[in-house]
A and B are shown apart, each in its own frame.
Chain A
Amino acid sequence: MIKSQNLVKEYGSFRAVDKVSFELRKGDILGFLGPNGAGKSTTMKMITGFLPPTSGTASVGGHDIQSHPIEAKRLLGYLPESGPLYQEMTVLEFLKFAGEIRGMDTGARDKALTRVMEICHLENVRHQTIETLSKGFRQRVGMAQAVLHDPSYLVMDEPTDGLDPNQKQEVRKLIASMASDKAIILSTHILEEVEAMCNRVIIIARGRVLVDETPADLLKRHPRHNAVRLVLQSGGPDAVRETLDRIPQVGKVEALGNGWLIHPKHGEVIKPRVWEAARAGNWPVESLENAPLRLEEVFRELTLAPDAKPEKTKPSQKKSREKVEAA
């Protein structure tokens, strides 16, 4: 289990990380999201024991990272941001070093080396010095180093940064395949990655946790959550709008091209209702589908709020609170 309790990091009078708390169990993949400078990397550096926190504690596998750093670090694999590596070593030398410093014996290390070089596709550059590698390959070396000892806890700061689309896909697959027996934290700016891999999302802005929930719950905050898009063949009846308005669960109805964007009143599932209405009215339906939702839009709304405050309320409640505040 990775546990972070009220982690705070201050640089002078500036609070880079402000009381970040969460718990992560084996099997969890936590996606860390947030705008640039939000404090993601700083939080990770504190969890991995590189930066001492100003206050608060973190523990890995039950070992406090401050008081029992060696035990905690033994269980950790860490891919730092922008992969710092010993540039003058070759890939093989570096990975051997990483294995040795973790106390692996030669047999186990060589087996692990073969494994990670295969999954990170490093065989062809094994004797090349790291400084001569391209950025993506350096990132792979960092990745290989992080998983070499098959750690129970993995912390990865932007693991797919700098990789080509194929490699990105492979790394995502790799991470997902490791999930069952590990607890993984990764940060990213690519929101599809979170949807594809993570079962938890933490959005952090200005050092504070804004939300901590599943990607599906996060999507529920989307203004178009459960909205449907109805497209009719030309020459549909004029009474469509009135009929739609009469369905009790339907809220706002917007005209959109030759169709309609239909919002639920309180986030209910309205697709079957709309479908019934269409059949009853014998409308020439061309398509009826859920409105496309993008995590980006949720992210933007959450992090661009003038004063993004930590909040755990659902969107509907939020709206009513805003009304109260406005009044």
Chain B
Amino acid sequence: MKSVISIFKREFLGYFRSPVAYVFLAVFLIASAGLPWFVGGFFESNEAGLDRFFIFLPWVFLFLIPAVGMRLWSEEKRSGTWELLFTMPVSVTQAVVAKFLAGWAFVSLAIVLTLPMPITIAYLGEPDWGPVISGYFGAILMAGAYLGVCSLASSMTKNQVISFVISVVFCLLLVLLGWSVFNELMLSLNLPVALVDALANFSFVTHFESMVKGLIRVKDLFFFFSLTAFCLCLNILVLER
């Protein structure tokens, strides 16, 4: 347990040892606030909700979470420090979990830093707090699932660029499967509705959308947790060779 905490601490603080963390936080805030504003017409809508902010999150995550996740293991492999790490008395499982949690905490921090948005909205109108809370909860869970995919990708290569590309491709797939535009495209190709629905069930978007609406359903929680756990288990297997 102590070793998990020390790896977590090292990794989490490690983000702030380079300017990358600050660049990331800035870009994340600008993108997650800017997209709804410029593309989504955030303030034109009369709803005092955060739907429009949340709708763009899967797309913002698509590029930014791989940027956080790519260094998790690729960097250790490239610089050889995993030789140091794995000759210390820690199991691969402990190391994978600790590093994942550190990355997740960092991304969650970025998400929490967008809180001024709902606060602004609350100031301007009378928001429905239920969906805001469940939406934030969903966003953090979804970020974990993205990061699980990225952590797995980064354990497979010592090249951060390759790790980034693999992560984006996989995450994109998991976004597209539930994206309404893509679903309609599939339907127009005469694919059976049942199949399209089944595929959509494997998407971040499908499960996230219901949370944005204020629903916290077991099947959505189950999806995010199981996807994350699945990726991390594979991650452990990859590192155990």
A82 CB-CB contact with B under 8 Å: yes
Q: Which of A96-104, A162-170, A295-303, A316-324 contacts B (4 or more CB under 8 A)?
A: A96-104
Q: Mark B72-88, 1 if CB is under 8 A from A, else 0.
A: 00000001110110111
Bound together, the chains give a CA A86 to CA B10 distance in angstroms of: 10
Of the candidates B2, B5, B91, B241, the one whose C-beta lies within 8 Å of that of A70 is: B91
Of the candidates B14, B80, B91, B241, the one whose C-beta lies within 8 Å of that of A52 is: B241
Q: How far is the CB of B78 from chain A (nearest CB, A)?
A: 10
B5: chain A residues at CB < 8 Å are: 100
Q: Mark B17-46, 1 if CB is under 8 A from A, else 0.
A: 110000000000000000000000000000
B86 touches A101 (CB 8 A): no
A73 touches B81 (CB 8 A): no
Bound together, the chains give a CA A87 to CA B18 distance in angstroms of: 11
Q: Beyond A97-B6, A97-B10, A100-B6, is A49–B79 a contact (Cβ under 8 Å)? A: no
B10 touches A103 (CB 8 A): no
A102 touches B88 (CB 8 A): yes
B83 touches A101 (CB 8 A): no
B81: chain A residues at CB < 8 Å are: 84-86
A139 CB-CB contact with B under 8 Å: no
Of all chain A residues, the one with the shortest Cβ separation from B88 is: A101
Bound together, the chains give a CA A45 to CA B84 distance in angstroms of: 10
A152 CB-CB contact with B under 8 Å: no
A76 CB-CB contact with B under 8 Å: yes
B3 CB-CB contact with A under 8 Å: yes
Of the candidates A50, A52, A82, A86, the one whose C-beta lies within 8 Å of that of B87 is: A50
B80 touches A101 (CB 8 A): no
A89 touches B17 (CB 8 A): yes
Q: Beyond A73-B89, A101-B7, A102-B89, is A88–B18 a contact (Cβ under 8 Å)? A: yes
Of all chain B residues, the one with the shortest Cβ separation from A97 is: B10
A86: chain B residues at CB < 8 Å are: 10, 14, 79, 81
Bound together, the chains give a CA A71 to CA B88 distance in angstroms of: 10
List CB contacts (< 8 Å) of A201-220 with chain B: none
A103 touches B80 (CB 8 A): no
A84 touches B84 (CB 8 A): yes
B2 touches A100 (CB 8 A): yes
A271 CB-CB contact with B under 8 Å: no
Q: How far is the CB of A316 from chain B (nearest CB, A)?
A: 43
A84 touches B88 (CB 8 A): no
For chain A, give the interface size range. 20 to 34
B90 CB-CB contact with A under 8 Å: yes
Of the candidates B3, B86, B241, the one whose C-beta lies within 8 Å of that of A103 is: B3
List CB contacts (< 8 Å) of A181-224 with chain B: none
Q: Beyond A85-B81, A86-B81, is A103–B89 a contact (Cβ under 8 Å)? A: yes
Of all chain B residues, the one with the shortest Cβ separation from A73 is: B89
A15 CB-CB contact with B under 8 Å: no
The residue among A70, A101, A102 with the most chain B CB atoms within 10 A of its own CB is A101
Of the candidates B10, B18, B80, B87, the one whose C-beta lies within 8 Å of that of A73 is: B87
Q: Beyond A100-B6, A101-B88, A103-B2, is A84–B83 a contact (Cβ under 8 Å)? A: yes
Bound together, the chains give a CA A326 to CA B14 distance in angstroms of: 65
B80 touches A80 (CB 8 A): yes
Of the candidates A48, A76, A84, A98, the one whose C-beta lies within 8 Å of that of B79 is: A84
A145: chain B residues at CB < 8 Å are: 84
Of all chain B residues, the one with the shortest Cβ separation from A74 is: B89
B3 touches A84 (CB 8 A): no
List CB contacts (< 8 Å) of A85-122 with chain B: 85-89, 97-98, 100-103
Q: How far is the CB of B106 from chain A (nearest CB, A)?
A: 15
B10 touches A89 (CB 8 A): yes
B87 touches A101 (CB 8 A): no
List CB contacts (< 8 Å) of A34-74 with chain B: 45, 48-50, 52, 69-71, 73-74
A78 CB-CB contact with B under 8 Å: yes
Of the candidates B17, B84, B89, B90, the one whose C-beta lies within 8 Å of that of A88 is: B17
List CB contacts (< 8 Å) of A122-158 with chain B: 145
Q: Mark B87-98, 1 if CB is under 8 A from A, else 0.
A: 111110000000
B3: chain A residues at CB < 8 Å are: 100-103
Q: List residues of B whose CB falls within 8 A of some A CB.
A: 2-3, 5-7, 9-10, 14, 17-18, 79-81, 83-84, 86-91, 241
Query: What are the 9 closest A-B residue pairs judged by CB atoms, nearest first?
Result: A84-B80, A100-B6, A74-B89, A73-B89, A88-B17, A48-B87, A78-B87, A101-B6, A101-B3
